[in-house]
Each structure stands twice: as structure tokens, then as C-alpha cells.
């Protein structure tokens, strides 16, 4: 895709600090890092979201996440790390090429990721679980 910045990085038309590459994936440092070592993992082929990708590619991409996260843990003695993947504008996706963030975490860092702290309604939770399980069963 010619107007995709990540596709231009794959094609080596735009610069990036590449740290890992194989036939199907590329890992490079984020240009606006949340912390030291913040890395993006992308498929080399253009897909807008994770669910647009073939399942086999999703597996390959997450193998790269595993590989790179292990290297970051080893080199920087991380206290932890977040793996973040966003799909669509409502989820905060800004570059519409599927990508996964590995965000290294250090004690007392200022990185903030948040979720609702209220307990979920049990009736609603059961309805959601039943509905999604039925959809998954219909796909088998």
C-alpha cells in the first residue's frame, strides 16, 4: 500500500531502527517510545487489523513478539512489559497497518495503561460469554 508508512518501512523507503526481521515480520523501534526499547512488530504484508490477517500469519507475528520480548527482557533486565495491539480508531489505532507494541516496563516508570475499575454486571457477563461462545462454535 503506497500511502502506508509501515509499508514504506518494509520497502526500505522510510527509515527505521530495525531490530529483527524474517520472511513475514519486521520489528523496529517506535519513533514515539513510551519507554526505552518500545518496539513495534508488523507483518511485512499490509493488513489493517489482526482479524484481517490469515491465522497462520498471526501466529508467526506472535512468535516474533515472543522472540523480541525475550531479547528486551535479557538486555534491559525489564521489570515487566506490556504487549498492546489496537484495531480501529475507537481502540486508538493511528497507523492502519496491523502492529503490536512491546512496551518495556521499569519500576516507577510513568507509562499508564488503564481499564475500568468497577466490577462487571454478572448477568451481562453471562450473556456476553454465551453469545460469543455461540459465534465461535458456529465458526468451527
CA-based nearest residue to 95, from 38, 35, 23, 46: 46
Q: CB–CB of 86/93 below 8 Å?
A: yes
pLDDT of residue 2: 66
Percent of the chain with pLDDT over 90: 89
CA-based nearest residue to 80, from 109, 58, 100, 39: 109
**Would you say residue 122 lies in a domain?**
no
Q: CB–CB of 50/88 below 8 Å?
A: no
Tally Cβ neighbours within 10 Å of residue 72.
20
**Would you say residue 128 lies in a domain?**
no
Q: Give the CATH number, domain containing residue 59.
A: 3.30.428.10
Catalytic residue among 38, 97, 99, 101: 99
Predicted confidence band at 113 (pLDDT cuts at 50, 70, 90)? Answer: confident
- Of 78 and 116, more confident: 78
**Would you say residue 118 lies in a domain?**
no
**Would you say residue 62 lies in a domain?**
yes
**Would you say residue 23 lies in a domain?**
yes
Q: In what order do the strands lie in the sheet with 25-29?
A: 18-21, 25-29, 39-43, 100-105, 80-84
Q: What is the pLDDT of residues 21-73, one digit of tens each?
A: 999 999 999 999 999 999 999 999 999 999 999 999 999 999 999 999 999 99
**Would you say residue 81 lies in a domain?**
yes
Domain assignment of residue 16, given as a range? 5-111
**Would you say residue 126 lies in a domain?**
no
Indicate the pTM of the whole model.
0.90
The number of folded domains in the chain is 1
Predicted confidence band at 116 (pLDDT cuts at 50, 70, 90)? Answer: confident
Residue 99 annotated among the catalytic residues of the structure = yes
**Would you say residue 124 lies in a domain?**
no
Amino acid at each position: 500500500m503506497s500511502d502506508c508508512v509501515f509499508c514504506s518501512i518494509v520497502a526500505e523507503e522510510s527509515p527505521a531502527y530495525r531490530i529483527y526481521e524474517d520472511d513475514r515480520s519486521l520489528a523496529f523501534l517506535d519513533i514515539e517510545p513510551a519507554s526505552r526499547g518500545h518496539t513495534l512488530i508488523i507483518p511485512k504484508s499490509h493488513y489493517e487489523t489482526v482479524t484481517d490477517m490469515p491465522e497462520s500469519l498471526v501466529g508467526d507475528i506472535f512468535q516474533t513478539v515472543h522472540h523480541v520480548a525475550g531479547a528486551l527482557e535479557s538486555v534491559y533486565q525489564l521489570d515487566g512489559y506490556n504487549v498492546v495491539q489496537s484495531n480501529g480508531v475507537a481502540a486508538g489505532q493511528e497507523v492502519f497497518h496491523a502492529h503490536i507494541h512491546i512496551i518495556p516496563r521499569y519500576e516507577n516508570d510513568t507509562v499508564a495503561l488503564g481499564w475500568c475499575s468497577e466490577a462487571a454486571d454478572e448477568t451481562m457477563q453471562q450473556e456476553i460469554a454465551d453469545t460469543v461462545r455461540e459465534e465461535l462454535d458456529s465458526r468451527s
